[in-house]
Amino acid sequence: MAELQRGIMSLRKQTPSDFLKQIIGRPVVVKLNSGVDYRGVLACLDGYMNIAVEQTEEYVNGQLKNKYGDAFLRGNNVLYISTQKRKM
C-alpha cells in the first residue's frame, strides 16, 4: 500500500491500507466504474487497487451473468471494495 500512503503528509492516516490487510480472505463485493459487480473471496490486492478474486460471480444490473474461478480486476476500474454482509 505504499502508493496510497506516499502523499505530502505521508502516513497521515493508516485506515485504507489497514482495511485492505484486514479483508484479505473474506468475501467481498467489488463494484467497478461501469456498474458491474463482482462477488467472491478476496485473494490479494495491491496499492493500485488491482484485485484478485476467487470463486467470482459477475452481476450486471443485479443479474448474475458469469462465474469465474479466478478473476483479476485492474485497479483503475474499481469504484469500491466492500465486505459482504449485506441486504439489498
Considering the complex, what minimum distance in angstroms separates the CB of residue 54 from another protein? 19
CA 62 vs CA 10, 42, 57, 66: distances in Å: 39, 20, 11, 12
With respect to another protein, which residue has the nearer C-beta, 45 or 71? 45
Place of cell 483479476: 72
Considering the complex, what minimum distance in angstroms separates the CB of residue 80 from another protein? 5
Considering the complex, what minimum distance in angstroms separates the CB of residue 1 from another protein? 9
Contact positions vs another protein (CB under 8 A):
4-10, 12-20, 23, 29, 33, 49, 76, 78-88
- 17: buried, middle or exposed (CB in 10 Å: 19+, 13-18, 0-12)? middle
